[in-house]
Amino acid sequence: MSIVSPTPTPSTSDSGRAVSYHGAVCDFKRRLIETTLQQMRGNRTHAARVLGLQRTYLLRLIRDLGVAAPPPPPRRGAAPLRGGGFASAPAFRRR
């Protein structure tokens, strides 16, 4: 599986101001994670594996960088609800 690297950002922002090194690195990380998540169809575990990251660290980056992550795919065997969500597995009762 190959990952398409995002296009490089210009050295100035849309407002014409110079972009800081930290800002450019954050933008690159954000675009790389978004691209990888799209290629993995929103599967964060697979995206973390492809990027060589721990899944929990990827989740932290998604939160901290404000990544526009697609919603995770529905779990196998989950029944759709009328409201568009998914029901959890049936609970077993103790006798």
The domain ranges of the chain are 1-70
Higher-pLDDT residue of 57 and 89 is 57
Mean pLDDT, rounded, for 40-69? 94
| Structure-block tokens of residue 5 | 């690297």
For residue 62, name the pLDDT band (cuts at 50, 70, 90).
very high
Question: In the prediction, which pLDDT does 46 show?
Answer: 96
d(CA 30, CA 41): 16
Alpha-carbon span 67 to 59, nearest angstrom: 10
Q: Give mean pLDDT, residues 53-70.
A: 93
Given a cut of 60, is residue 88 above it in pLDDT? no
Region 1-70: CATH code: 1.10.10
The structure's pTM equals: 0.59
Binned at pLDDT 50, 70 and 90, residue 69 comes out as confident
